[in-house]
Structure 1
Amino acid sequence: MQKIIAQAKDFVRDENGITALEYGLLAGLITVLLIASMKIIGTGLQTVFQDVASAV
């Protein structure tokens, strides 16, 4: 029984899984920000090209 308790304590103290989770969340956040910025930039570029096409 003491071996199980010791293994459980070691599992709780282990931070490798937490670090991987943090990196995963960070990668997800960066992806969301990139998609949002590309959408905003794309909309702006579309407007610019439409204005140029209208002027021509």
Structure 2
Amino acid sequence: MEFYEFAKHFVVCGAFGALIGLMSWSFGYWIYQLVAYICKKVKAHKEKKAVK
């Protein structure tokens, strides 16, 4: 019974940790994409100003 409780606890914690890890990774990825997009827009805007 002790082992069963431990195994259940381990599986729940592992699944929870994996879920949080996946969410934080995808969140970081989207932030990175957003920052790269904004930087690209800003750079293009500055280049347009430089052309004028």
Could you say whether these structures have the same fold, taking a TM-score greater than 0.5 normalized by the shorter chain as the test?
Answer: yes
Distance 2:32 2:38 in 1: 10
Q: Structure 1 stretches (4+) deviating beyond 2 angstroms?
A: 9-12
CA deviation profile, 1:1-56 (whole Å, cap 9, x unmatched): x68xx54x23431111211111000011111111111111111000112223x1xx
Match of 1:48 in 2: 47
Q: Percent identity at matched positions?
A: 2
Match of 2:7 in 1: 10
* Aligned twin of 2:29: 30
Output the aligned Cα RMSD. 2.2
Quote the residue 2:20 is aligned against: 21
Structure 2: 5+ residue stretches without partners: none
TM (norm. structure 1) is 0.65
Q: What runs of 5+ residues in structure 1 fail to find an aligned partner?
A: none
